[in-house]
Every structure is written in C-alpha cells, then in structure tokens.
Copies of this chain bind each other. A is one copy, B any other.
Amino acid sequence: MLGFNEPEFLSQLASTVALRHPIEELADRLVDEGFDNLFLVGAGGTYAQMWPYEQLARRISTLPVRAVVAAELAVAGDATLGERSVAVFTSVSGTTEDSLRAVEFCKSKGARTVGFTGYADSPIARSVDVALVSEAKAWPFDPQMLLLMGRLFARRGEFEGYEKLADELADLPRVLLDVARQADAPAAAFAEAHKDTDYHFLVGGGNLWGFTYLYSMCILEEMQWLRTTRVHSAEFFHGSLELLEKDTSVIVFQGEDETRALTDRAEAFAKRVSHDVTVFDTRDYALEGISPRFRGLLAPLVLDTVMGRVSKHLERVRDHSLDLLRSYRVMDY
C-alpha cells in the first residue's frame, strides 16, 4: 500500500495495547484512592481525540468528565479542578507547548496528572505524575483511552464486559491492518475523484464528532490547505445545510452508536441536494474478533485508519505533502 509501513503500523499499535496492565494498575489506584472528576486535556488533534471519551462518560457514567482545550484551561481555569481531580494528557511528541502549560497548571492546583506519549524523555512525560509511553510516533491514543476509561467505569460498576473488551483489543493491530487493506481501494478512488476539489463539507456525530473536527482541521485544512466546513450531524439542519449545492463534496463519517440515526438523517438530506456525497461507514468493515457490542466504541479508531488511507492518496494525487507546513512551528508566534 502507498506510503504504508506495515511493520511500523503493527508495532506502533501493539505498543499501545501493550500498556493494558500499567493502565489498569493506574485506574485501580485512582479508584482505590478516590477522585472526584476527570479532565481530558488536549490541543487540536489530541483535544479532538478526547471527545469520544467525554461522550462515553455522558452516556454511561455519573463521573464528571470534561474534554478541555489545553490553552483555554491554563488561562481560564476550572472551579472543579483541584486535589481530587485527575487530568489526562496525550501528545505524540510530548512537546506540545499548550499541553505542557496545562500540565503545569493542573499540577499547581494539586491535580494528579497522567500523560500518554511516545517519548519517555519528553517534557510532558517528565512533567506528569504518571507517564505511559508507547512506541515513538504511535497514533491515535484511542486504545489507551479505551483501556483507561473502560477500566475506570468497570471499577465504578458502570461498564460491563471490560475484561472482554481489553482481551479483544490485544488483536487491534491485525484488525486495523485488515481495515487499512480494505479501505485502500475506495480511498484511492475518492482521492482520484476529488483531485481538483477545493472545498469539502464534513458531517459526523456521536463519538465521531471529534474525528470529524480533526479530519477537517488537522488534515484537510492543515496538511492539504483545503477549505472545509465541519458540522455535527445533530446540528446539520441548523445552518450549514444551506451551503449544499449539487456538486458540493460532502464527506459523511458514520459509526455505530445511538446517534447513527442523526447522521443517517443528514446523509439522506445531503444526497437529495448533492451528487457528490461520500460516506465512510465503520459498518463496512468486518473487525473480525471484535464483539458486536464493542464495535461502536472502536469507530474513531476504524475511521482514523480508513481516512489515513485517504490522506495518503490525496497527498499523491494532489502532489501536496502531508508534512508541508507553512505556519505551524515554521513561523514564530
């Protein structure tokens, strides 16, 4: 597959699920010692990636869980952040400045801090109370977050079947490799058909809203300099729909949670206006070895894998490197 390093893909993912036991020990210790609330802190893509876990908490748990923007937390604070709080951070490089400032802010309030990163000697890994380190460049952090949140909620009596989920996650490298292989041809076809498309309209909901935001902002805008709009499928009918024309490229992300019907509603409407609606649906993938009841939880991971193939093909057909930045970490600010 184009731009796909299979051994690296497998070993990076394996390194994330290999954190199961330290993650469980951490979760057990937190529950045993007691804590009042959980802050899931990120910046850009890592903020987006926290959203599914606030959303999961809203659905199944009475624990106060908030996904928060690192830079905002550090300046505006939070009245519930204190010694009985736990703050979780993720950063591939372990150097994201906004997140590092937020770690220091949380520590100054007495909160316990946890960091997932790929570099043990990075500033964030050295700054947090507990650093859990996967292989360098491993992304996304959903496996670690599923293990952490799953175990916490299981220990609180709010999530049944955690052991089975954690067992099944051990197979994630193979499961997602199958996804990547199956996604490659449709991804190439999408890219070829949209070589000259300069505007995409992205829709997603439920635990895929974070990924919708991420793919719009951090991939199409940041890495391909393409204009986009992004809208939550539950909000689609309250504004953005008026933008649709018959040739508007609409990208729909569809998963398998309770909000599926809301995205179906947006998709059906979009197809009545535009003839260029592309649906990326996790239901199209077998995910062999994953129990039906856990499939919905894995949607952000599956879509990340699928759209990773799309990104590589867009890079090729548009001759625009995904690594080319003209502003971020290029200009000072």
Contact = CB atoms under 8 A, between A and B. Distances in A.
A240 B217 CA distance: 6
Q: How many copies does the complex hold?
A: 2
Nearest to A243: B221
A268 B64 CA distance: 36
Contact of A238 (B43, B237, B238, B273): B43
A72 interface: yes
A258 B78 CA distance: 12
A162 interface: no
Given A72-B259, A78-B59, A225-B243, A44 B238 contact: yes
Interface residues of A, number: 65
Nearest to A77: B59
A333 B269 contact: yes
A151 interface: no
A79 B229 CA distance: 31
B259 A231 contact: no
B45 A238 contact: yes
Nearest to A260: B75
Contacts of A244: 327
A166 interface: no
A206 B72 contact: yes
A331 B274 CA distance: 14
Contact of A232 (B72, B221, B259): B72
A206 B72 CA distance: 8
Interface string A274-292: 0000000000000000000
Given A64-B64, A227-B199, A242-B222, A234 B79 contact: no
Given A79-B60, A325-B242, A205 B333 contact: no
Given A72-B206, A76-B257, A80-B62, A98 B234 contact: yes
A78 B64 CA distance: 11
B59 A273 contact: no
A160 interface: no
A43 B236 CA distance: 10
Contacts of A232: 69, 72
B79 A239 contact: no
A222 B229 CA distance: 12
Interface string A114-136: 00000000000000000000000
A59 B68 CA distance: 13
Interface in A49-106: 55, 57-62, 64, 66, 69-72, 75-80, 98
Interface of A: 43-45, 47, 55, 57-62, 64, 66, 69-72, 75-80, 98, 158, 199, 205-206, 217-218, 221-223, 225, 227-229, 231-232, 234-235, 237-244, 257-259, 261-262, 265, 268-269, 272-273, 325-328, 331, 333
Given A44-B237, A72-B206, A75-B262, 17 more contacts: A55-B76, A58-B78, A59-B76, A59-B77, A59-B78, A59-B79, A64-B64, A72-B205, A72-B262, A75-B261, A217-B231, A217-B238, A222-B239, A222-B240, A237-B333, A242-B327, A242-B328
